[in-house]
Structure 1
């Protein structure tokens, strides 16, 4: 099964807003299990977040393209880059609460977990608190989740669901 991809340009400049838009569009498009939906940072004269969709068939791709165009998005074949941040991917719905790294890998399309400041991968029995917000990123054709050590010897995804804005206490 060869996946088919397209991306939609947006005016959204914040990841959190892009996540909400992507989840809304994914629901409207009724994407099947096995589809991927990612955010991509676009730099340059007009910084923004683009959205990509990878689908398992050409007919699904054509339908998504038609619906996104009807909704007013500029749609381009492929993906804007190779390092998209996955928001929707196989198994994402099962990555809630606390699980082991082994369970996380077995339940989802994530290929591996890396831990900031560590070499190699964490052991499969290492626990991870997901905070119900797991955003892996494509790296070299693999879906990789960056994690960091947390209290009690557990891990947490590097990206948190509600980050504190820079300089919030000033």
Structure 2
């Protein structure tokens, strides 16, 4: 495991030092979030937002690595329990961004989220949720100009967000996982 981590760091360091161009930017937009998982099929979506910054690091002409830091409001409305779960995260996705053309892009990559706060019907519930969340992003975008772009992304939750450890696959499958559909507007400097 140690060799894999060191190899990944070496590859990323090589890519960053050989990067043709790095641009920084800000982004923000709307989230449509819910919980996914076996016992959460009836969870309703909540509307939230995300805002933050990113770096677009060109590796080759058509490929860039895009790390981001985003504040994101997430959660779900659970009708069967008659509660709203509102979770706030600092999300750190690292995306591989492929330029199909100069205007059209596709992207994918992992994400780690750090729980900032959690409220269930206005009451503090941070102890009921895990402090970290893992997910995988995929999406696409359109560049209006060299500076202004729009992006659509879906984040599939991989880890259980509730603060308990699943004992087997069925329990893991039935655990709540974040599911986020995001629409963003971005500006690169």
TM over 0.5: no
Larger Rg: 2
Instruction: Provide TM-score, normalisation by structure 1.
Output: 0.25
- Name the structure where helix makes up a greater proportion of residues: 1
- TM-score, normalised by the number of residues in structure 2: 0.23
